[in-house]
Structures are given as C-alpha cells and as structure tokens.
A = this chain, B = another copy of it.
Amino acid sequence: MRKRAGPITQSGSLMSHPRIDVLTLGNAIVDVLAHTDEAFLVSKNVHKGAMQLIDEARAEELYNDMGPATIVSGGSAANTAAGIASLGVRAGFIGKVKNDETGNLFAHDLKAISVHYDVALAGDGPATARSFILVTPDGERTMNTYLGACQNLTPDDVNPATVEASAIVYLEGYLWDPPAAKEAFRKAVTIAHGAGNKVALTLSDSFCVDRYRDEFLGLMRDGSLDILFANIHELQSLFQTSDASTALAALRDEKVLGVVTRSEQGALVVSRGETLAVPAYPVAKVVDTTGAGDLFAAGFMAGLARDLSLTDCARLGGLAAAEVISHLGARPQASLLDLARQEGLLS
C-alpha cells in the first residue's frame, strides 16, 4: 500500500486541480460539413447563416440529400477551447457526448490537444450531437443541429474543482437550448464567481438571442457576466434594434466588457470608458466561416490569459478567426501559437 493521501501539487496543497486559464462550457457536437449551393438551401427551407435545431428524422433527410461530407469535431465552446489550446494556453471543456463512435472522436480530439475534459461519456440515451453544416460558395455556413446527447448535460457534469481552477469560465448561449443545460450553466457561474474567477458568455446566434433574450439580458444585469461576446447581428437582436450604433450604445451602458465582431470590418472592444476598434486580419480566400466567432473568442481570451492589452487580445482573436475561415471545419489546422509568434503577438 502506498502511504500518500493524494497527489501533491507544486504549491504543496493536497488534491488541488491543475490550473486552467479558460474553461468553456457548451454543446458537444461533431460537424458534418458539405459544400452546397444556394438552391439547396432554398430547397431545404433553411435559413442561410443561422443555426437551426433539427430532430433525428430531419437529420437523416438532410444527410441523405447533402454532398460528400467532411467530419470534424465542432461545438462552439469546444472550438473555442481548441483554439485556446492551439495558442499554447491551458484550456478545459465541459459538454456531453455519448460513448459512441462519434462521441469518442470528439473526446479524442480534445485529448489530442491537451484540453482538460473530465465529463463522463453517456452510456445510453440519444447519440452524440451532430451539426449538418452546409457551406455555400461565398464561404457562409448554415448549421442544422441535432442535439442528441447534449440534452443530457446536467449540473452533475460540472466538476466544482475544475471550475474553481479556471481563471475564466466561458459559456455559450446555445446551452439555453437543451433543457437541463442551463442549470449546469448557472452552477458554473455560481462556483466561478465564488472562487473569484471571471465569467464570459457568447450570444451564439441571432435566433438563439430571440429565443432567450430576457434571460440573457438578466444574466448581464444581475452580475452573472463579466465579459460578453457577440457579433453585431446578435447584439442588435439582443437590444432589438436594426441600427448597429444604437446596439453599441446600449452595450456601453451595461456593466460588462463587450467584445463585438463585425466580420471583415473587424472587432470592437466596448466598455463604459472606451471603445477600441481593431481591424480584421486579411484572408486570401474565405472557404468556410464555421467557427469564426468561436476562434475570435479563443484568441481574445488567450490574450487575456497572457495579459495582453485589449487591442492585442482582439488582434489575436482576429488572427485565430482568419486561420479557421481559410479552410473547411471549425478547428485550427495550423498551430495558432506559431502564427501568433510570427505576428509578434505572443512570445
């Protein structure tokens, strides 16, 4: 018998959790991507550029009719964790898959890039979530998501030690869709703030904001959030305005650090004191915008973890987004750390 009571970390405390810079919480999804044309979107009656939830029958119909598929792990918050890891920053992820072929791919892909992932794979219940992503020639992606096993994420899947060990906890708005997940979300917020950590939220999608506007505004106003990520359309949806400047002015009055992306127009970092505008990185050819927002958030938060200025955080976000939209799939294919070093943003 070994005599030691438990693992001893460098700081000497018993049973302490390895430090994580950014822990992300979201729907654990594997993407099934195919190039398509505008006519196919029309024939399938899908809303271009949006994320729509679908059931199993619809998933089967879409898959049968769509083009040759490329399969890559996805999920908004998981993509963000992957981006953070690719920048050499410690990342973790909380989300639910089933112990099936697809779920094992998802878990493999996190392990392969050293993203901390301690959620148990479901032994039964619905299959691992898939998003059928249709990419049009302009590079725009339209997502059709079967949530499957994501429906079974519960507060029990949130390990308090993991949340306590994480300097930033990042949550995706999509988590409001599966019924039990928002309780996991709230548990993570409570633990994070109890430990003095920061909480960030991404609004995810304009239609998602439509579904949960009051709750998202409530989270921002009851002190649950420290940082809000949104693209300009989501922000306009949140404040119910067709005018971008009105939405930005409204954001300026909230008690959060706002990070707003505007595609090729770059990003704005909005606080009460100032608004910083940071240009987008040039991209030779936009192949697939899937993951652009996820990777922007990854770069921004990795920058925070490395104590960069807010402007450089946004630059790092833009750099990460530029890499991911230059190929099919929402996870980095190049080392983002190498790219950031070439740009002089990280050492």
Q: Which residues of B contact A287 (CB under 8 A)?
A: 327, 333
Q: How far is the CA of A35 from the CA of B284 in the complex (A)?
A: 22
Task: Render A259-294 as a binary contact track against B, CB cut-off 8 A, 1 for contact.
Answer: 000000000000000000000000010010000000
Q: Kindly state the separation between the CA atoms of A102 and B331 in the bound complex, as whole angstroms.
A: 21
Beta-carbon contact of B73 and A109 below 8 Å: no
* Chain B residue at minimum C-beta to C-beta distance from A100: B101
Contacts of A63 in B (CB 8 A): 108
The docked-state distance in angstroms from the alpha carbon of A50 to that of B329 is 27
Instruction: Give bound CA distance, A63 to B105, whole Å.
Output: 10
A34 and B328 alpha carbons, distance in the complex (Å): 14
CB-based contact A329/B70 at 8 Å: yes
Distance, CA A87 to CA B313, complexed state (A): 44
Assess whether A69 is interfacial by the CB under 8 Å rule.
yes
Q: In the complex, A102 Cα to B102 Cα: how many Å?
A: 10
- Contact partner of A327 (CB less than 8 A), chosen from B34, B102, B112, B328, is B328
A window 103-154: CB within 8 A of B: 105, 108-109, 112-113
**Among B66, B113, B328, which residue has its beta carbon within 8 angstroms of that of A68?**
B113
What range describes how many residues of A lie at the interface?
A: 20 to 34
Copies of this chain held together in the complex: 2
- Which residues between 54 and 78 of chain A lie within 8 Å of chain B, taking CB atoms? 63-64, 66-73
Q: Are A66 and B112 in contact (CB under 8 A)?
A: yes
Tell me the chain A residues, 11-25 only, with Cβ under 8 Å from chain B. Answer: none
CA distance A338 to B71 in the complex (A): 25
Q: A82 in the interface, Cβ–Cβ < 8 Å?
A: yes
**Least CB separation from A110: chain B residue:** B68
| Chain B positions within 8 Å of A331 at CB level | 68
Q: Which residues of B contact A66 (CB under 8 A)?
A: 112
A112 / chain B contacts, CB cutoff of 8 Å: 34, 66-69
A-B pairs, top 7 by smallest CB distance, nearest first, are A71-B71, A68-B109, A67-B112, A68-B112, A101-B101, A70-B72, A68-B113
A-B contact pairs, 6 of them (CB 8 A): A69-B105, A69-B112, A71-B71, A71-B72, A101-B101, A284-B284
| A284-B284, A328-B333 given; 19 more Cβ-contact pairs under 8 Å | A35-B334, A67-B113, A68-B73, A68-B82, A68-B109, A68-B331, A69-B105, A69-B109, A69-B112, A70-B70, A70-B71, A70-B72, A70-B333, A71-B71, A71-B105, A101-B101, A101-B102, A287-B333, A327-B327
